[in-house]
Chain A
Amino acid sequence: MVEFLQFTLSGISFGMIYAAIALSLVLIWRGTRLLNFAQGGMAMFTTYIAIEVIYHTGSYWAGFVVALAAGIVLGTVAELTVIKPAAGKPELNAVIITIGLLVLLEGLAGIFYGGQFRSFPAAFSVTGLRVGSTALGVSRFDVFVAAAVLVTTLLLAAGFRYTSAGLRMRAAAFNATVARLNGIRVARVITVGWALAGLLGALAGILVSPSTFLYPNSMDTIFVFGFTAAVIGGLDSPLGAVIGGLLLGVALSYASGYLGSQVTALVALGILVVVLMIRPAGIFSGAQVRRV
């Protein structure tokens, strides 16, 4: 029973990271029907930037803030330089461009920072928390991870719901034509979507790297898990992304806990295949989703 609690709590903590990646994918998908294959690569790159800042300034939080800012910048620059020119052309072009962007980022990271695994500091203690004599299976850092993603998600949700900018983004995502007829600069809205996705990816990268170590391919698996979470929840649904992330995190935690950690990736891909076969639109989606 205690084991079950531990697996559940640690699953929630990892699930929040998958939720962050899933959310960033949903942000871009809703606006443009494009799956950003470079999302993990962008997160890895901004985490390298963070580690350089931490190394040179000695301050974790400086690195944290710079990484988030770099995420915003990287998302904006990527959209403006390589994604926007593909608008209006066959969709496959844009998909291939994001894959190319992924390869570019991983290559650059290897060139600038080398391929060796680097350890990344955690913001808070990673010692397991206990209630009385029972180990909970999560640490203060894990709690911070969950809280950070939750707070960011709630801020985003509030922004979408209550601000004019949020309304513009939602309108552009639901019906770009009607949005443009109302004077909404949809091209600008899309760029902002990429900037926010970059921010979320950067957050995910910093939060997961203490567990996975940092190397040019370190975010590949997380990207697949985040994508799976987004598909489970429905690529159109931000709420679905978060819930999909939590469900996946918990499921993978049970799988690795009871079956051994080598089955984790297998279970994730198995879940992805099952969801795509049974309900490709995802749990929370009402509409049809085109297969990429």
Chain B
Amino acid sequence: MSSPAEADGGQRASAAGGGAALAVEDLVAGYGEVLALNHVTIEASGASITAVLGANGAGKTTLLRAISGMVRPRSGRILLDGVNRTGRSPEELARAGIAHVPEGQGVIPELTVEENLRLGTMAWPGSARRRADRGAALAEAYERFGVLADRRRKLAGTLSGGERQMLAIARALIARPRLLLLDEPSLGLAPLIMAQVMDMVVRLSRESGITVVLVEQNARAALSIADHGVVLNLGRVVAAADAKDLAADVALRHHYLGF
């Protein structure tokens, strides 16, 4: 996998592996009166897959939004490879290597498939490189996601749910992120499609070394592909362990994860 020559000291993930290490320290964030995250501390090492689990309202989506800059935390720190990124704008964080696929919002339906993919290149450093590499990046995406190649000139709104999810993830990958945040990527998808999406996430992490933080309602599926798991409940971390151990902890599963 090629990557553009870096003037900024190798900030983007390359084939050699280089997913960012994420550290969330004592984060407090919320909306108005409501505290969605209540002193949350989480770690995700480079090139790992971390599943963030919990019931509705647990704070999972707010966590991802805080990391990507959509929500400004009230206190606490967010560190990417040891660099403090707390309170930066979403645009800056996207350019620093964070790709966030929000729930149900990963694509812009009024743009074509190809235009959506091109959005991924907007986070690249240096506009001159953008033009030269863009063609190669798009070709790579079409090769990996054949269904997108067939529909490249169609409006993204005409795609099925599973295809849109593929497009959203493809778009995120074109940005060559070091940290990929996925919010409920399997929501609304048929089980078969969901399995494909999960498969793809695993392959991406292994191949490109991207650090993945995955929020999922479907805890079983998420734990089956993750290295580590974090369980949130009402804005607090109630469990953080290797995914295998979490899956084996029957009491925890029953209490917080519903299976």
Contacts and interface: CB of A to CB of B under 8 A. Distances in A.
A170 B108 CA distance: 10
Interface residues of A, number: 17
B110 to A, nearest CB: 5
A178 B108 contact: yes
B175 A182 contact: yes
A209 to B, nearest CB: 37
B110 A183 contact: no
Interface string A164-194: 1001101100110111111111100000000
Contacts of A180: 69-70, 89-91, 94
A182 B174 CA distance: 10
A167 B115 contact: yes
A171 B91 contact: no
Contact of B175 (A164, A171, A178, A183): A183
Given A182-B122, A182-B123, A175 B108 contact: yes
Nearest to B118: A167
Interface size class of B (residues with CB under 8 A): 20 to 34
Given A164-B130, A177-B105, A183 B94 contact: yes
A177 B91 contact: no
Contact of B102 (A168, A181, A185): A181
Contacts of B105: 175, 177-178
A185 B127 CA distance: 14
A164 B70 contact: no
B178 interface: no
Contacts of B89: 180
Given A168-B122, A182-B123, A183-B123, A174 B94 contact: no
A174 B111 contact: yes
Interface in A129-180: 164, 167-168, 170-171, 174-175, 177-180
A186 B91 contact: yes
Contacts of A179: 108, 119
Contact of B90 (A170, A171, A174, A181): A181
B165 interface: no
Given A167-B119, A182-B119, A177 B70 contact: yes
Contacts of A167: 111, 115, 118-119
A184 to B, nearest CB: 5
A183 B95 contact: yes
A212 B110 CA distance: 40
A184 B91 contact: yes
B68 interface: yes
Nearest to A168: B122
Contacts of B115: 167, 170-171
A181 B118 contact: no
A168, A175, A181, A185 interface centre (most CB from chain B within 10 Å): A181
Interface in B25-80: 68-70
B70 to A, nearest CB: 7
6 contacts: A164-B122, A178-B107, A180-B69, A182-B122, A182-B123, A183-B91
Given A178-B102, A178-B105, A183-B175, 12 more contacts: A164-B118, A167-B115, A167-B118, A171-B119, A177-B105, A178-B106, A178-B107, A178-B108, A180-B69, A181-B100, A182-B123, A184-B91
Interface of A: 164, 167-168, 170-171, 174-175, 177-186
Interface of B: 68-70, 89-91, 94-95, 99-100, 102, 105-108, 110-111, 115, 118-120, 122-124, 127, 130, 171, 175
**List of 7 A-B pairs having minimum Cβ-Cβ separation, nearest first:** A183-B123, A183-B94, A180-B90, A182-B119, A183-B95, A174-B110, A183-B122
